[in-house]
Amino acid sequence: MFLLGKQIVGIDIADHSIEVAQVKSLFNQRTVLSFGRKELSLGMVERGRIKDADKLASTVAEVLAEAKPRRIKNKNIIFGLPESQTFVYHCNLTLADKKEISAKVKQTLLGNVPIDEKELVYAYRVLQENNDQFTILAIATRQTVLQEWLDFFKKIKLKVKGIDVEILATFRDLFDFLPKEPIGVIDIGSATSFVGIFDKEGLQSEYIINVAGDAFTAAIAKSGGLDLGQAEAVKIEKGLENSDQKIKSAILEQLGLITAEVGETLSGFKEKTGTEVVKLILVGGSSRMTGLQKYFTENLHLPVQVGSAKSLSAKVPLEYVEAVGLALRGVENFWDKRDPIF
């Protein structure tokens, strides 16, 4: 059967879950055709590395087969490399010859990311160019990590059309257009949190924070004498409105670490650019934690809202925003001009 419009599948795999979304774009209209999600059992993926390839392969097959409203048969995918295995870096270069950009980006990355030269894999885009001045957005990872995921998808007969970065994918479906004024996105994942600042030129500042949903859950479990499953439910349902002061204090201790890092990122952006972030948007699994929006509003002194994805209907929850954003990279050519991809 002939299908109008370009289609591709976004696959987002974190340590504890997998989300997939098949997206079509036709005449600049985005449509989520099918989507699915499954929890991953402990030990299948750890900090973005595959630990049990056989179980993960079975789970990927299941989530594609059980996608709603119909199973996903499309084999072409864009995969989001986990943030814990990705480095995103901005730099300003002064070069007499534009042909030197790649070598200079590599040299800059080697001096700023903890990856040996033999292991370094990188990609970049030129965001701004003014005579001999270049503003660069680069992404980097380890060859070992990249090849591990490529081999995995090849084994299960999925065709990788690109390996993308999660924070860039998330942004794509939060806004129809690049914002005129700077907006901060706080993505609270399982192993890491990510704060990115976007403006009319795209991603302008970013920082990875090694405190996230797992740290909240572990702190709640320890302080409340709960198992991790119970603690996860308590985190989302009661969160900062928990009447148990030990649990609330445990959450606040972890949140304080994130807030401090976000505050420094916002201050650094203002110092560098002379402009201020006008609002913050929360995404990620733990963004649903009760009381979190109010907490960040009060402690960061900015309006804060939970993300609302443009392509997602009431039937498609916000937790699919990254998977949809990954797919959009494959069906909308615009993003090739702004976002690097492996």
Q: Is it the case that residue 207 has pLDDT exceeding 90?
A: no
Cα–Cα nearest to 72, from 10, 14, 13: 10
157 and 59 in a single domain? The answer is: yes
Looking at residue 182, the DSSP 8-state letter turns out to be -
Which of 241-245, 286-290, 305-309 is most confident? 241-245
- CA–CA dist 14, 84 (Å, integer): 10
- Torsion-angle region of residue 291: left (phi > 0), alpha (psi -120 to 50) or beta? left
Give the C-alpha distances (Å, rounded to integers) separating 310 from 75, 79, 228: 25, 20, 33
Determine the average pLDDT of the residues in 57-80.
Answer: 96
Rg over CA atoms, the chain: 20
- CA–CA dist 75, 67 (Å, integer): 14
49 and 10 in a single domain? The answer is: yes
96 and 167 in a single domain? The answer is: no
Q: Is it the case that residue 3 has pLDDT exceeding 70?
A: no
201 and 273 in a single domain? The answer is: yes
- CA–CA dist 300, 242 (Å, integer): 22
Determine the average pLDDT of the residues in 196-217.
Answer: 85
Query: Could you tell me if residue 281 is inside a domain?
Result: yes
Q: Is it the case that residue 295 has pLDDT exceeding 80?
A: yes
What pTM was estimated for this model as a whole? 0.83
CATH for 76: 3.30.420.40
Q: According to the model, what pLDDT value does residue 103 have?
A: 93
Query: Could you tell me if residue 103 is inside a domain?
Result: yes
Query: Could you tell me if residue 133 is inside a domain?
Result: yes
Q: According to the model, what pLDDT value does residue 25 have?
A: 81
Count up the domains in the chain and report the number. Answer: 3
Q: Is it the case that residue 4 has pLDDT exceeding 70?
A: no
329 and 195 in a single domain? The answer is: no
Q: Is it the case that residue 2 has pLDDT exceeding 60?
A: no
92 and 234 in a single domain? The answer is: no
Whole domain around residue 113: which residue ranges? 86-141
Query: Could you tell me if residue 219 is inside a domain?
Result: yes
251 and 171 in a single domain? The answer is: no
Strand-strand pairing, 183-188 and 193-199: antiparallel
Residue with tokens 């494959």: 330
- CA–CA dist 304, 311 (Å, integer): 21
- Cβ pair 322, 10 in contact under 8 A: yes
149 and 254 in a single domain? The answer is: no
Cα–Cα nearest to 128, from 337, 342, 333, 341: 337
Determine the average pLDDT of the residues in 95-123.
Answer: 92
- Cβ pair 182, 204 in contact under 8 A: yes
316 and 274 in a single domain? The answer is: no
Please give the backbone phi and psi of residue 227, each rounded to the nearest 5 degrees, phi first. Answer: -80, 170
- CA–CA dist 186, 271 (Å, integer): 20
Q: According to the model, what pLDDT value does residue 77 have?
A: 96
46 and 165 in a single domain? The answer is: yes
201 and 257 in a single domain? The answer is: yes
Q: Where are the beta strands (DSSP E) in the chain?
A: 6-13, 17-26, 29-39, 45-46, 49-50, 76-81, 87-94, 120-130, 133-142, 159-165, 183-188, 193-199, 202-209, 279-283, 304-306
Select the more confidently predicted residue: 286 or 73.
73
